[in-house]
Structure 1
Amino acid sequence: MNNKELFKIAENWFSEQNWKPFPFQKHTWKAFLQGKNGLLNAPTGSGKTYALWFPIILSYIKENPEYKTKHKSGLKAIWITPLRALSVEIKQAAEKLASDLGTQLTVGIRSGDTSASERARQKKKMPDLLITTPESLQLLLATKDYSKIFANCNAIVVDEWHELLGTKRGVQMELALSRLKTINPKVLIWGISATIGNLELAQEVLLGTYQNTLKNSVLIKASINKKITVKSIIPEKIETYPWRGHMGLHLIDEVAQIIRNSRTTLIFTNTRSQCELWFQTLLDKYPEFAGDMAMHHGSIARETRTWVENAIRNEDLKVVVCTSSLDLGVDFAPVETIVQVGGPKGVARFLQRAGRSGHQPGKESVIYFLATHAMELIEASALKKAAANTIVEDRVPYLDSYDVLIQYLNTLAVSDGFFPADIFKEVKTTFCYQNLTPEKWQWILNFITQGSQSLQHYDEYKKVEIEENGLFKINSRKIAMQHRMQIGTIVGDAVLHVKFLKGSYIGSIEEWFISKLERGDTFIFAGKKLEFFAIKDMKVLVRKANIKKAAKTVSWMGGRMTFSAQMSQLLREELYLLEKNINSIEAKALQPIFIRQKKESIVPNSNQFLIETFKTREGFHAVFYPFEGRFVHEALASVLSYRISLLSPITFSLAYNDYGFELLSDQEIDIQAVLDNDLFSTSYIHDDLQKSLNATEMARRKFRDIAVISGLVFTGMPGKPIKTKHLQSGSQLLFEVFRDYEPENLLLKQAYIETFEHQMEEGRLIQALERIATQDIILKNCGKPTPFSFPIITDRLREKLSSETLADRIAKMTASYLRE
C-alpha cells in the first residue's frame, strides 16, 4: 500500500467524523511515513493527537498488508505524557483509531496508577501501543531483558515537550531516547509542543545528534489562528493605594456572575492555598453552587481528581476551582470560560490555561483576568498583546545534570548491566551531556562503584559491581529494590496522607504544615472543614469539624512563583505605554493610581530607573523598581544591601515582589553616595551574590534534591517515608563531607551551579544590571509611600500579621496617606 492509499484511509476516517484534516496534520503524516523525525508545534485543542497516532497506525498497516486477519503482538510505539491524568484520553483516541481502521492493535497504559496485576500482564505480553510517563519508561529500562521489549518499537512520541524541556524529567527523556535509539536505530522520535518560544532548540534537545537523527528531521508549525479573547475584570472602585494579600476575593460577585452566564467555568489560581480559599469563599457566599462546584489540585486524592475530570467532560459541574493540575492537554469540550485569578507570571502558562476553553479546532477561547491588586492590570494589558501576537517564553534546557546521569546508570546496572564505553558514546549524543569529558565520566563510574573519594570506606555507597568481562552490574537485591522505588527526578517535601478516622483517603499535606497542629485544631482541606486527631503510621487522622469553628487554610511550601523573563519585559513595555495611552480599559482603570503616583513621585519611562525614598514610623525606606520578577529582586536586594553595608555599617530588612524591592533601615541611607560608588556594577557580582545570600546554605538545601535523585540518600519504603528533617540532616552531612574533603566532587559543584543559575537566576540578574546601566537613575525623595511602593510594603506586613489585622492596618495607612 503506497502513501497515497494510506492518506485516503485517513481522509475517509475524518470524513466519517464530519471533520476535515488540517494541513499540519497531513504534513505530519507525510513526514512520518517518509521516515523523518520531528517536532510538531500546534495550539492546544487543534488535533495534535490525531496528527501522530494516525501515521503510527498507517505505518503499521503499510508494513502488514494482512493486518485485518493476521496480527503479530509486541510493543510498536510509545506515547510519553508528562501527566498521568492525560493517559486515559490519549488511550481512548488510539483505541478508536485502531478499531475504526480495522486493526487488531492493542493499547495500554503504564504509569504510577497502573495496578500490579496489569503490570504483571504487560510483563508477559506488552500492548502494541503504550502510553506512559518518563518515570515509568525508566522503570521499564530497569527490567531484565528490556532490550527485547523495545526491539520492535518503531516510534516514540513525547507529548507536551515544552513541559519537560528545562526540567530534569526532560533530561531523563534525553537519556532514555539515547538508549532506545541504540536498541532500534530505525525508531522515529517525535515531539509535540504547544507554547514555546525557542522551537529550533527544543527540537535539537529532543532529537540529539545520534546517527544524524537531527539532520533527518522536520519542524512543523501549524498555521492555525486560534482566537483567544482576554477580558479584564475591572472593579467599580480602584484602590489608589493598591495592596496584595486579599487574593482577589473583593471581586467574587463579578466571578459569580461569570459562572452563572457560562456552561462550565474553570477558575485557575496560582497556588493550592489560594485554590482552597476561593472554593470555600464561593461556597460560603453562594451556597446555591453546592453540588455544581468542585476543586482540583495536585494534593487531592487521585480518585477525586479523576471524578472531577469526568464530571467536567459530562457537564455535571458548572464551576471548578483549580491550579496548574488542569493546565495540560485534557480535552474539556464543555468548558466555555476560564477565570485567571492573579498574574500567571508567564505568557505560556496563561495561553495554556486560556486554551482549556474552546478546546476544539476553530473554537474561541475566552479567559477573564482577575487582578488581585490594581497593579496587576498592567499584566492583564500585557498578556492581551502577548495572546494577540503569540509571544511565548523560551525554555532553557539543563546541562551536565550529573545526578540524573548517576540515577540512569544505576537503572541500567539494575537490569542487564552496561559496558561503560558503549553507554559513554550514547550519553554524549544527548544535548545535556554533549560536553561530558572522559575524566568526568570516569569520576561518575568511580562514584557508582566506589562511592567517590571521600565515601570509599562505606560499603553502602558501593552500589555497582564490575564483573570479569567489564560489565557494570548491581547484584544486591536490596540496592536494586531501593533504586527502583526511588526512580524519578521530582523531589518535594515529605507528604502525609490525610484520611478520616473511619473512612476514606482525602489527599496529602506536607509534613511541615501538620507539624504545627495540635489535637483538636481545625483546618480546611479539599473543600472540607477537618479537625486534626492524630498522626498514626505516617497518616494524618481527621474527623469532620464543627462548621462554626474557626479554621486555618492549608498552605504549601514553595507556592510563590516569579515572572518569566518574557513576562518581565512585556510588563515594562506595557507600563511605559499605559501611562500615555488611555484607550484600553486597563489604562483607564489605572489612571487614579498613575495620577497619585505622579503627585508623589513619577511613572518611569523606558529610559528611566526609579528609586524612591521616604520615612515612616517603621524607619527609612528605599524602594527600587527593576520590574524583573520576584526571584531577581530577592537576589538584587541582597547584593545591594551587602554593597551598601561595605560602605558604612548598616542593617536592612528586605521586601520584594515582582515589580520592585525595598531596603528598610533604622538609619537614613545616602543613596546618591552609594550610587556614586558603582552600586549597580556587574563587577564581582558572583562573589557578592555568594556572600550576601549565604549561597552555601542555599546550595546545601539544593544538594538535598541532588542527593535524592543520585541515590545518595534513600527516601524510605512505601507508607514509611523518612521524615524531612532526617532526610535533610543526612544530605547535609554528606554536603559537609564533600565540601571539606572533596571540593571537586561533581555533585557538590552541581549544587552550587543550580543555586546560582536556576534559583538566583544569576544570568537574568546580570542582564538587569546591564539594562539599568543604560538608564537614567531618577532618585525621588518622597514625603510618604507611593502607590507603586504600597504593594511591596504590605507584602512585608503580611508576613507578620493575620489577614484581619493586616486589612485593618492597611485601611488606616491608606486613610492617613490620602488625608495627607
Structure 2
Amino acid sequence: MSPTIPAVSALPDRFAAWFAGRGWQPHAHQLTLLAADRAGRSALLVAPTGGGKTLAGFLPSLIALAEAPADHLHTLYVSPLKALAVDIHRNLETPITELGLSITAETRTGDTPQSKRQRQRKKPPQILLTTPESLALLLSYADAPSIFRRLERVVIDELHALAETKRGDLLALGLARLQRLAPACRRVGLSATVADEKALAAWISPTASGEDGSVTLVRGRAGAAPEIRILASRAYVPWAGHMALHSIEEVYEAIKGAKTALVFVNTRAQAELIFQALWRINDDNLAIALHHGSLAPEQRRKVEAAMARGNLRAVVATSSLDLGVDWAAVDLVLQIGAPKGAARLVQRIGRANHRLDEPSRAILVPANRFELLECRAALEAVEDGELDGERPKPGGLDVLAQHVLGMACQAPFAPDEFFAEVRRAYPYRNLPRQDFDEVVNFVATGGYALGSYERWRRLAQDEDGHWKIASPVMVRRYRMNVGTIVQQPMMRVQMRNGRRLGEVEEYFIQGLVPGDSFVFAGQLLRFEGIREMAAICSPGGEGVPKIPAYEGGRLPLTTQLARRVRGLLAEPGRWRSFPPPVVEWLEMQRRRSILPDREGLLVETFPRGSKEFLVAYCFEGRNAHQTLGMLLTRRMERAGLKPLGFVATDYVIAVWSLKPARHIPALFDQDMLGDDLEAWMDESSMLKRSFRNVAVIAGLIERRHPGETKTGKQVTFNSDLIYDVLRKHEPHHILLRATRADAAAGLTDVARLAEMLARIKGRITHRHLRRVSPLAVPVLLEIGKESVYGGAIDGLMDEAATALIAEATAEETAPELPL
C-alpha cells in the first residue's frame, strides 16, 4: 500500500457542473480516487453504502473518455452478481446521457445473447460490465490479446464478497492474465465492508503484494450510524425453531409502516415459508414479492425491475440481493433469523436508505432464544465497528486447473512464463512450483491413475516444450463448463402449460410421489410427475405441503460473533435489554447449573429416559460442531459408552449414549484431530461430496457436453467411481489434496475446531445434573427434526417442548449428582 494518498484532484468543469446541477458536492474519496488514477496507481476504496462508491469507481473512466475518446475497451467492470451488473449499467447510463458523452457501456453475462457476445469481441464497447465467469470465457478466446491489449482500468465491485471464494481465485488468475496483456492497466476495488484492509489491498495489487506503493487505500467518511432494533416479544420467545413464524404479524406491521422493505432470510426454504406466511395475512393487498437464486431468471428480473420502478412494498430475499443492488425507495431492512456475521448484517442494512447523512433502519427478528443472543451480539458489533471476515486461504488447485485449460484454449503457453504469471495472482502468490507442475500434468493427462484414458488428455506439448490444447473438442468442453459455482443436482420445476418456475434440488423431487403438495416460487403446487428431466406441477394441492430444503443453504456463524455471544452469557449485567422470558431462562440456568464463560467449555451430563446425555456449549458454528460430534462419538464408542447419536447447532452439541460419560477432559483432548480425524474423513461420504465439486471445477467431470447435459445422478456416479480409483491408485493426486483442503476449510471447519480445543485445554467445567438444564432444552428439541418439513418444524417443537421445558424448569435443591 502506498504510504501517502495523492493530492485530491479537481473535477473538470463539465463534470463539476453536472454535480452542481444535481445539487451534489463530490465526496473527498471520489476526488482522491480520481487523483490516484491520474497518478497511475491502483486503488482500494472502502466506503459505506450511500457514499457514491460506484460512481467513484467509474468517474475516472468517464472523465478520461470524455477528454480522449477511445475506440477500444477502456474499462472493465466486474461484479459478483449478474443482477448487480445490470443494475449498475442502468445507473451508469444516467451520467453518460446527462453529460452528453459519446461513451458505449454494455453488459456481458451468461444472459447476454450469443449474437451480442460475438459482436462485443469484434467491436467491444468502451466500458464492459461483466462477471468473473464471463471474463474467464473472454480470456480463453484466441483474440483475447486484441480485445484487452489497450485496457486501462478494471473496477471490481463488492470485492470482499469475491476475494474469499473460489470465484475470487478465478478472478485473481484472470486479472494476472489481463496484466500481462495490458501491463499499464490499473485496478480499483470497491467495498463497503472490509475486515482486513491490508490483505484486500494486496489482493488488488498487480504484484500480489500491495507493499510496493502500487495500491492507494482510500477511505470514505462514515455515514450516519444505522438504527437497529431487535423484534422480540416481551411475552414469548421460542425456545427453539428456525423460521421465526411466531413474529410474522409484527413483521407485516413493520412492512406496512415502511415505504419499501427488504426482508432478508438466511435460506431459500425460509424465504418460501416467510413469503407464504406474509401472503396469508396480507389483508391490505400489499405488493410483496419473492427473490432467491433457485427461481427462474425471468422471474427474478421481473422482481428487480418492479423494485426499480418503486412498484413493490416488500421483497422477501436471500443473499441473492445482498450485494449492491441499490433501490432508493428501500427505507427498511428486516433480517429474519440471526445474521451469522456482523459484516453480513452491515451489508444487508446498507441496502436501505442510500444517503450518508441519514441512518439506515433495520429490524432483527430472532427465531429462538439463542438467536436473540446472537442478534444482540451482532448489534453490538455493528455499534463498535467490528467486522468479521475469513483469513485469506491459498488459491484452489481445482480452480488453477480450470484456468490452465482456459489459457491453453487461448494460445500455447511456456510453463516458466505461465508460472510467473500465476504467482502474480494474490491467492497463488506462494504457490510451489511442484504444485503448479502437478496441476499442469493433471490437465494434460489426468495424472498417473487416469493417464491411460484418452478423454482426460486435454493438453499436448510441442517441440518447444509449450503446452497446447489437444483438440478443438476440449475447447468446446471447457467453454460449456467454465466457472466455479457448483450447484447440487437440480431439476426444473415446470407447470403443465410449460411455464418454468425455477429449479430445486434433485433429491427433493425424488422424495415426492404424484399428488404430493409443496411450496415453491411463492405458490402451493401439486406434483404430477417427472417428464424430460422436469418436475411437472399444477396449481394447488392438499395436505401439509413440503418445503424444498437446499443443501449448503445455511450460513456459518462467524468466529467473532461467537466470541461476543459467549461474552453476553458470561456477563449478567448486560441482560437488561433482553425480554423477560430470556432473562428468566438464563437466571434459571445459573441456579440449576452454571453459565458458559468466555474462554472455557461448559459440559453438562444428565440422564433422561433410558439414555445418558452430554451437552457441550462450544459456540463454534454448525460445521465445526458436526465434525466434533463425529469425533466424539468415535471416541465414546472406543471407551465402551455406546453412543447412539448426536445433534449440532451453531451454539451447542448434544450426544446421547447408553452409558454415562465420566472423564470429560480426555474426550475433548486435542489428539482427536490426529488419527481419528483422518480415519473418519476417509470413511465418510463427505469427502466424496467435496470431490464431486472439485472434479467439476477442475474439468475432470463435465456438467455439460456439446449436445447434451448430464443429470446429477450421472455426475455423482462418475465422480464417485473416479474418487475410488484415485484413492486406491494415486492417493496424493492433486484433486484429492484439493478435496481435503476444501473439506478442512468448509464442511469440517478443522482449523476452527483446532483453535477451540487448544483454547479450552485445562478450562473444561463439567456439571453432572439430575436432569436436563434450561440451556440444554433448545438443542434437545433439535433431535429428530431433520425429517420434518418447513413450518411444521416449529409447531412440532412447540409440542415437544412442553414436557421438556417443565422438566428443565422444575426447581430442585441439589443441582448436581456426585461423579
2:802 is the counterpart of 1:811 = yes
Aligned partner of 1:753 in structure 2 is 741
* CA spacing shift, 1:210–1:787, aligned 2, 3 Å: closer
Q: Please, which runs of 5 or more residues in structure 1 have no aligned partner?
A: none
In 2, are the aligned partners of 1:635 and 1:693 still within 8 Å (CA)? no
2:778 is the counterpart of 1:791 = yes
2:245 is the counterpart of 1:249 = yes
Query: How far apart are the structure 2 equivalents of 1:742 and 1:769?
Result: 32
Aligned partner of 2:816 in structure 1 is none
* CA spacing shift, 1:16–1:425, aligned 2, 3 Å: same
2:704 is the counterpart of 1:716 = yes
Query: How far apart are the structure 1 equivalents of 2:726 and 2:505?
Result: 29
Name which of 770, 773, 791 aligns with 2:761.
Answer: 773
* CA spacing shift, 1:47–1:3, aligned 2, 3 Å: closer
Give the 3-state SS of the residue equivalent to 2:667 in structure 1. Answer: coil
* CA spacing shift, 1:4–1:250, aligned 2, 3 Å: closer
Give the 3-state SS of the residue equivalent to 1:580 in structure 2. Answer: helix
* CA spacing shift, 1:593–1:322, aligned 2, 3 Å: same
Name which of 212, 215, 218 aligns with 1:217.
Answer: 215
Give the 3-state SS of the residue equivalent to 1:227 in structure 2. Answer: coil
| Pairs within 5 Å for 1:447-486 | 447-486=442-481
What are the superposed Cα offsets for residues 501-552 of structure 1, whole Å, 9 maximum, x if unpaired?
Answer: 1142111111111111112221111111111223222222211124x55422
Give the 3-state SS of the residue equivalent to 1:662 in structure 2. Answer: strand
How many residue pairs get aligned? The number is: 801
Q: Which amino acid aligns with 1:44?
A: T
Aligned partner of 1:444 in structure 2 is 439
Query: How far apart are the structure 1 equivalents of 2:548 and 2:634?
Result: 35
In 2, are the aligned partners of 1:689 and 1:695 still within 8 Å (CA)? no
Give the 3-state SS of the residue equivalent to 1:452 in structure 2. Answer: coil
Q: Which 10-residue stretch deviates more, 5-14 or 22-31?
A: 5-14
Q: Which amino acid aligns with 1:158?
A: I
| Pairs within 5 Å for 1:102-251 | 102-209=100-207, 214-238=212-236, 242-245=238-241, 247-251=243-247
Q: Which amino acid aligns with 2:272?
A: E
What are the superposed Cα offsets for residues 64-119 of structure 1, whole Å, 9 maximum, x if unpaired?
Answer: 2xx4xxxx421111000000001122112332333333431100100011112211
Name which of 606, 613, 622 aligns with 1:621.
Answer: 613
Aligned partner of 2:323 in structure 1 is 328
Name which of 634, 646, 657 aligns with 1:654.
Answer: 646
What are the superposed Cα offsets for residues 266-291 of structure 1, whole Å, 9 maximum, x if unpaired?
Answer: 111111111101111121233433x5
| Superposition deviation, residue 308 in structure 1 | 1.2
Q: Which amino acid aligns with 2:799?
A: D
Give the 3-state SS of the residue equivalent to 1:114 in structure 2. Answer: coil
| Superposition deviation, residue 254 in structure 1 | 1.2
Query: How far apart are the structure 1 equivalents of 2:351 and 2:567?
Result: 28
Give the 3-state SS of the residue equivalent to 2:612 in structure 1. Answer: strand
2:769 is the counterpart of 1:782 = yes
2:94 is the counterpart of 1:96 = yes
Q: Which amino acid aligns with 1:796?
A: I
Q: Which 10-residue stretch deviates more, 683-692 or 724-733?
A: 683-692
2:387 is the counterpart of 1:399 = no
| Superposition deviation, residue 484 in structure 1 | 0.3
What are the superposed Cα offsets for residues 659-697 of structure 1, whole Å, 9 maximum, x if unpaired?
Answer: 111110122222xx342xx33332362322223455653
RMSD between superposed Cα atoms in Å: 2.2
Query: How far apart are the structure 1 equivalents of 2:295 and 2:664?
Result: 51
In 1, are the aligned partners of 2:235 and 2:580 still within 8 Å (CA)? no
Name which of 539, 545, 548 aligns with 1:551.
Answer: 545
2:69 is the counterpart of 1:33 = no
Give the 3-state SS of the residue equivalent to 1:507 in structure 2. Answer: strand
Query: How far apart are the structure 2 equivalents of 1:475 and 1:393?
Result: 45
Aligned partner of 2:405 in structure 1 is 410
In 1, are the aligned partners of 2:343 and 2:389 still within 8 Å (CA)? no
In 1, are the aligned partners of 2:414 and 2:467 still within 8 Å (CA)? yes
| Superposition deviation, residue 249 in structure 1 | 0.9
2:556 is the counterpart of 1:562 = yes
Query: How far apart are the structure 2 equivalents of 1:205 and 1:440?
Result: 21
Q: Please, which runs of 5 or more residues in structure 2 have no aligned partner?
A: 1-6, 812-819
Query: How far apart are the structure 1 equivalents of 2:625 and 2:778?
Result: 14
2:50 is the counterpart of 1:56 = no
Query: How far apart are the structure 1 equivalents of 2:164 and 2:208?
Result: 21
What are the superposed Cα offsets for residues 699-749 of structure 1, whole Å, 9 maximum, x if unpaired?
Answer: 222111111111111112489532222212211222222222122211111
Query: How far apart are the structure 1 equivalents of 2:605 and 2:208?
Result: 58
Query: How far apart are the structure 2 equivalents of 1:9 and 1:574?
Result: 55
Q: Which amino acid aligns with 1:622?
A: L
Q: Which amino acid aligns with 1:96?
A: T
What are the superposed Cα offsets for residues 308-333 of structure 1, whole Å, 9 maximum, x if unpaired?
Answer: 12222322111211111111101111
In 2, are the aligned partners of 1:656 and 1:792 still within 8 Å (CA)? yes
| Superposition deviation, residue 469 in structure 1 | 4.1
What are the superposed Cα offsets for residues 370-393 of structure 1, whole Å, 9 maximum, x if unpaired?
Answer: 110122221122112111122111
Query: How far apart are the structure 1 equivalents of 2:680 and 2:467?
Result: 44
Query: How far apart are the structure 2 equivalents of 1:29 and 1:572?
Result: 45
| Superposition deviation, residue 48 in structure 1 | 0.5
2:718 is the counterpart of 1:730 = yes
Name which of 24, 29, 34 aligns with 2:29.
Answer: 24
| Pairs within 5 Å for 1:55-74 | 55-62=60-67, 64=68, 67=69, 72-74=70-72
* CA spacing shift, 1:805–1:218, aligned 2, 3 Å: closer
Percent same amino acid among aligned pairs?
31
Query: How far apart are the structure 2 equivalents of 1:42 and 1:390?
Result: 13
Q: Which amino acid aligns with 2:44?
A: L
Aligned partner of 1:580 in structure 2 is 573
| Superposition deviation, residue 148 in structure 1 | 0.2
In 2, are the aligned partners of 1:414 and 1:475 still within 8 Å (CA)? no
Aligned partner of 2:629 in structure 1 is 637
In 2, are the aligned partners of 1:292 and 1:319 still within 8 Å (CA)? yes
| Superposition deviation, residue 629 in structure 1 | 1.5
Q: Which amino acid aligns with 1:771?
A: R
What are the superposed Cα offsets for residues 783-809 of structure 1, whole Å, 9 maximum, x if unpaired?
Answer: 322221111111113125563544322
* CA spacing shift, 1:408–1:581, aligned 2, 3 Å: closer
Give the 3-state SS of the residue equivalent to 1:627 in structure 2. Answer: coil
Aligned partner of 2:335 in structure 1 is 340
Query: How far apart are the structure 2 equivalents of 1:115 and 1:527?
Result: 29
Q: Which 10-residue stretch deviates more, 412-421 or 268-277?
A: 412-421
* CA spacing shift, 1:594–1:649, aligned 2, 3 Å: closer
Q: Which 10-residue stretch deviates more, 777-786 or 706-715?
A: 777-786
In 2, are the aligned partners of 1:198 and 1:395 still within 8 Å (CA)? no
TM-score (structure 2 length as normaliser): 0.93
Query: How far apart are the structure 2 equivalents of 1:632 and 1:666?
Result: 25
| Superposition deviation, residue 246 in structure 1 | 5.6
Aligned partner of 1:571 in structure 2 is 565
Aligned partner of 2:510 in structure 1 is 515
Q: Which amino acid aligns with 2:619?
A: F
* CA spacing shift, 1:420–1:294, aligned 2, 3 Å: same
| Superposition deviation, residue 780 in structure 1 | 1.8
In 1, are the aligned partners of 2:295 and 2:503 still within 8 Å (CA)? yes
Query: How far apart are the structure 2 equivalents of 1:619 and 1:341?
Result: 35
Q: Which 10-residue stretch deviates more, 747-756 or 695-704?
A: 695-704
Query: How far apart are the structure 1 equivalents of 2:591 and 2:136?
Result: 61
In 1, are the aligned partners of 2:448 and 2:730 still within 8 Å (CA)? yes
Query: How far apart are the structure 2 equivalents of 1:491 and 1:620?
Result: 41
2:299 is the counterpart of 1:301 = no
Give the 3-state SS of the residue equivalent to 2:474 in structure 1. Answer: helix
* CA spacing shift, 1:618–1:725, aligned 2, 3 Å: farther
TM-score (structure 1 length as normaliser): 0.93
2:376 is the counterpart of 1:381 = yes
Aligned partner of 1:535 in structure 2 is 530
What are the superposed Cα offsets for residues 39-77 of structure 1, whole Å, 9 maximum, x if unpaired?
Answer: 111112221011111111223344x2xx4xxxx421111
